[in-house]
Amino acid sequence: MKKRTSVLEFWAMLCIFSVFLDKAIRGAFVFDFYYYYPIFLIFLIVMLIKKGHIVMPPRWFNWGIFTIFITGFGVLMYRDMLGFEYIKQVFGILFTSFVSYNVLYVFRFDIVRIFNYYLRFAYWVALFGVFDNILHIAGIHITTNLASGGLLHREFSIMGEPFYLAVALAPAVVYNLIYFQEAWTKNRNRFLVIMICYLITYSSIAVTGLVAGFILALHINNFFSLKKNRLALVPIIIIPAFLLINQLIENVSLLNVRFNDTYELFFSSEMQPDKAGESNASTFALYSNFIVSRDSFIKNPLFGSGLGAHPLIYRETFLEYFPSVYLKRYGAQNQQDANSKFLRLLSETGLTGLLLFLFAFFKFFASKRKMITPGLKRLGAINYSIAVYILLCLIRNGNYVNIGFFLFFFIYYVTWKQIQTRYQQQLSAARQPMYME
């Protein structure tokens, strides 16, 4: 008999669904009020009523964010910039991280179950996205129409921007690539719907995630292993995939413009503020924030400009390199989050925060060598799927908390820890002597 979902588990499931609730009410309050805040608050209240306590995240995490908070506080005090931006970031990080870890606790750290909830919600959101895009093509617009000529309509489903949707769906896409045969035979509709919705975001970050996911799928399935005799198949698989991705970039104008503009600006030997102004808005946002972050890092390489300081230093640094007309044309685009987690960490936390983050990212990347059972491989697939998600956030999403960042980050950590523990248990069991009666 199937166990009934408790009230606490119901609200925990809604917290998982909040991965796709990235929109916020801006300007009405002194802080950005995300739609999932009431869900999180009710979850914590129910948690206190049912359990009598709230669980603290792991000690390593608490010490890490405490280091960032203290160094940021000191830098901002020294520069006379301490204010609401700092408080807002501290609150957002603490609130969302505590909720995320307690969601895992409610489900007893059953990561496969939690990730299956996410996959189900990803399918629902993607299904609406595909339906919505068909309506756009038919000329019926129940959501904002991001038409880009012809039959191209950038999809964002229930989310705020197409690239947010791409990032939110990325773990599901990578997981399905890893278990392609299973996805195709048992959940073909879900696989196709998620993949189609992911691609019709027409986001360059979606292509990046597809490439990274494809490589990790080959890796975890032993296609790069000499022992498994699959290496000879790699060119047969990679060449068609490479040609397909190349065709997408070359023939879909939305992708072509973004890749070409980004390549020309970031791989040039000289600063090109004039050329940046001629690029697409997405590339310009990334490039301008790169310049602001770079200057902030040069001035404060160890601790950065302080947590929450990037929007405070954005305008002054921006006008040193770009004419004011660009500020009017593009607005202070993505100045709040630096358009990239890597750039934001570089700008606000310097080497201290960036190295702490990168250390955790590489430390908790699961070793394929330890995935010696189907169950361990399943955990490894989830770990790799989230590794791609984190990589995409480093490149393109600078917000510290949205798109379920801490939920995915803690799942990433717990999968690594469970693989470590269960691998050791498997080894210990194998070493136990067998006695015959």
Percent above pLDDT 90 for the chain: 62
Higher pLDDT, 243 or 70: 70
pLDDT classification of 360: cutoffs 50, 70, 90: very high
Are 223 and 155 in contact by the 8 Å Cβ rule? The answer is no
Query: In this predicted structure, what is the pLDDT of residue 24?
Result: 72
Residue 347 has pLDDT above 70, yes or no: yes
Neighbours of 70 (CB within 10 A): 12
pLDDT classification of 234: cutoffs 50, 70, 90: low
Least confident of 130-144, 158-172, 382-396, 422-436: 422-436
Query: In this predicted structure, what is the pLDDT of residue 375?
Result: 96
Taking the chain, what is the end-to-end CA distance rounded to the nearest angstrom? 39
Q: What is the DSSP string of 182-237?
A: HHHHHSHHHHHHHHHHHHTT--HHHHHHHHHHHHHHHHHTTTT-TTTT-GGGHHHH
Query: In this predicted structure, what is the pLDDT of residue 318?
Result: 85
Query: In this predicted structure, what is the pLDDT of residue 392?
Result: 96
Instruction: Output the pTM of the full model.
Output: 0.92
| φ and ψ of 160, to 5 deg | -85, -35
User: Cα–Cα distance between 12 and 58 in angstroms, integer?
Assistant: 19
pLDDT classification of 240: cutoffs 50, 70, 90: confident
Least confident of 179-193, 200-214, 224-238, 338-352: 224-238
Percent above pLDDT 70 for the chain: 85
Residue 247 has pLDDT above 70, yes or no: no
Helix ranges restricted to H, 18-110: 37-51, 59-78, 84-106
Q: Which tens digit of pLDDT belongs to each residue from 43-74?
A: 999 999 999 999 999 999 999 999 999 999 99
Are 220 and 179 in contact by the 8 Å Cβ rule? The answer is no
Query: In this predicted structure, what is the pLDDT of residue 437?
Result: 47
C-alpha pair distances (Å), 62 with each of 16, 97, 154, 278, 363: 22, 10, 39, 44, 17
Q: Which tens digit of pLDDT belongs to each residue from 141-168?
A: 998 888 766 678 889 999 988 999 999 9
Higher pLDDT, 263 or 399: 399
Q: Which tens digit of pLDDT belongs to each residue from 109-133?
A: 999 999 999 999 999 999 999 999 9
Residue 434 has pLDDT above 70, yes or no: no
Q: Which tens digit of pLDDT belongs to each residue from 72-94?
A: 999 999 999 999 999 999 999 99
pLDDT classification of 254: cutoffs 50, 70, 90: low
Query: In this predicted structure, what is the pLDDT of residue 337?
Result: 81
